[in-house]
Structure 1
Amino acid sequence: MTDVRHLISLNDLTDDELAHVVLRGVKLAEDVTAFGEVLHGRVIGIYFSKTSTRTRTAFTSGALRLGARVIAYGPGDLQLNTGETIEDTGHVLSGMLDGLVLRTAGPPEEMRALAAHTMPVVNAMSAEEHPTQALADLTTMMTRFGRIEGLRVLYVGEGNNTAAALARALPRFPGVELDFRTPPGYGLRPDILAEAVALAGRSGGVVRERHDMTGLPEECDVVYTTRWQTTGTSKPDPDWRTVFEPFRVDASVMARWPRAVFMHDLPAHRGEEVTADVLDGPRSIAFDQARHKLHSAMAVLEWTQGAS
């Protein structure tokens, strides 16, 4: 590969590249063998310093299905724990691996340091952004609706890394209306919200954020929520649950839009951010969404490896 492709933030993708990866994910959802073993002979490292069920399995299974071999690293396996610098670690790994997929709690600069060499790096979740989750979400929406353009999406809950990724992805598609309803004090980071508003302005869409559940949009295609307690984080306010209570997605919320579907990035806590009748009900596509993590992970691996 002459040009190394990284996916550390969705900002690393052009609009055309974003659409390309999503469409490849949709194709793989139709036929997981669609592109064959295009990564045969390559070795992909999978390093997760934080827990993961869906993302780690998706990238491991996806790499194997594409013909690559996998080396898995846990939180205690690399000598980052003994004081080796992340720059040195990246230099060493890039001489032995063809790509690295990682999840950490550190800032994006750490991943950029690993990406300073010849090895494609994929952000499988960081504290700031969860780009591969958004790609799975867009793959799910495209599979469900046959389009992303013009969709009306209501996101309810914390302005966390999943929300940040959606804010950097959905508004690139023409006519999308993206409403964030986040608890007071737990909204999107102002610079990320500003990015999303600018993207929407460019594509003829709308992005809004409010910190209450009144005046909800008249029309909605997708209601999306996430765990109140984001993986690997804690909240300093001991009374935070009281602030989040009004933002539960239940039958009364879904009843406003009889044709809307429900999405959740999982894992879910029934009775907190969503009630069981919604998550397990006929309008929930949350487990289809989880399944599409495999297809979008394969599309990401294929793209970062220069195989598409």
Structure 2
Amino acid sequence: MKNLISLSDLPDDNLHALVSDALHHAAGAGEPSLHGRIVGTYFRATSTRTRTAFTAGALRLGAQVIAFGPEDMQLVTGESTRDTGRVLSGMIDALVARTTGSTEELLDFAAQGRMPVINAMSAGEHPTQALADLTTLHERFGQLEDLSVLYVGEGNSTAAALALALSRYRGVHLQFRTPPGYGLPAEYSRQANANATRSGATVIERHDMADLPKDFDAIYTTRWQTTGTSKPDPNWRTVFAPFQVSSALWEGSPKAVFLHDLPAHRGEEVSAEVLDGPASLAFRQAEHKMHSAMAVLRWCLG
């Protein structure tokens, strides 16, 4: 059985294979290989892209889908996550779950050892988003090695997954510019740097926007208010303001593409000119969520 709970648990060759398979589906070459399978989706927080991606992807692969809302299972009456996972494993073939906390809940779902569990975003990491990001970059540049990527904004679950994924590729230069107090969690930063040491990539994080290098291949941001979270500091917008992605960043990187995991808030983390401009791949990136979901489902279900 193969779960996808953290990219840290995924060997390099499996990561590369998932990106390759996602590109295969993006090119329209995939086959409906999951006939007779049943995929459960359980989302405890709102989702447009990830939930639709896994639902549509499963259906396109020939599987059937059962959707559970946040109040639909006996978890709300006190049944343990382990017992719930054990029950589900006797009825469905895979569970795609978005939690509002750490990955511990996902690990409890997976403890039954029979039904694959896929992390559709936890508080710490959004692994399937990173797969969509890599698929988008590979489609645009024909490779992932030697790319130079600038991430601007909060060190949230999307940023953590991007760090864990891109740091595996030789020659990648990945630079994070995160607001003070909102950087990458230490555990993800350590793992990304360990990956980079092994692969020959570089991962740098700073908490200002000064002295930016030039000629990035891609510039990436995410919404300032991560889904399902709030910030205790009432003045957090003042801290984030210098980290808005505007067309000024393209003065030093005129050929860069723009990435955003969406939903976007024009005028906050990104200007409308950038999001809707010719450099933006954000909506193609959203399409790749489905292609990546298809690759993950095929990998987990064999």
Instruction: Identify whether the pair has TM-score above 0.5, normalized to the shorter chain.
Output: yes
Q: 1:22 aligns with which of 4, 19, 27?
A: 19
One-letter amino acid of the counterpart of residue 138, structure 2:
M
SS at match of 1:63: helix
1:248 Cα deviation after fit? 0.3
1:254 Cα deviation after fit? 2.0
1:255 Cα deviation after fit? 2.1
Identity over aligned residues, as a percent? 64
More off after superposition, 196-205 vs 50-59: 196-205
Matches within 5 A, 1:55-134: 55-117=50-112, 118-134=114-130
Between the aligned partners of 1:78 and 1:12, the Cα distance in structure 2 is 28
1:286 Cα deviation after fit? 0.4
Give the alignment's Cα RMSD to 1 decimal. Answer: 0.6
SS at match of 2:167: helix
List per-residue Cα deviations over 1:66-95 (Å, max 9, x = no partner).
000000001110110000000100010001
Q: Does 1:5 align with 2:2?
A: yes
Between the aligned partners of 1:24 and 1:211, the Cα distance in structure 2 is 36
SS at match of 2:204: strand
Between the aligned partners of 2:4 and 2:104, the Cα distance in structure 1 is 13
Q: Does 1:148 align with 2:167?
A: no
Between the aligned partners of 1:164 and 1:254, the Cα distance in structure 2 is 24
One-letter amino acid of the counterpart of residue 14, structure 1:
P
Q: 1:162 aligns with which of 158, 162, 165?
A: 158
One-letter amino acid of the counterpart of residue 180, structure 2:
P
Q: Structure 1 length normalisation: TM-score? A: 0.97
SS at match of 2:255: coil
1:172 aligned residue:
168
Between the aligned partners of 1:211 and 1:154, the Cα distance in structure 2 is 13
Between the aligned partners of 2:234 and 2:13, the Cα distance in structure 1 is 44
- The answer to whether the 8 Å contact 2:213/2:252 transfers is no
Between the aligned partners of 1:187 and 1:274, the Cα distance in structure 2 is 18
Q: 1:242 aligns with which of 227, 235, 238?
A: 238
Count the aligned residue pairs. Answer: 301
Between the aligned partners of 2:88 and 2:101, the Cα distance in structure 1 is 19
Between the aligned partners of 2:30 and 2:47, the Cα distance in structure 1 is 26
- The answer to whether the 8 Å contact 2:38/2:93 transfers is yes
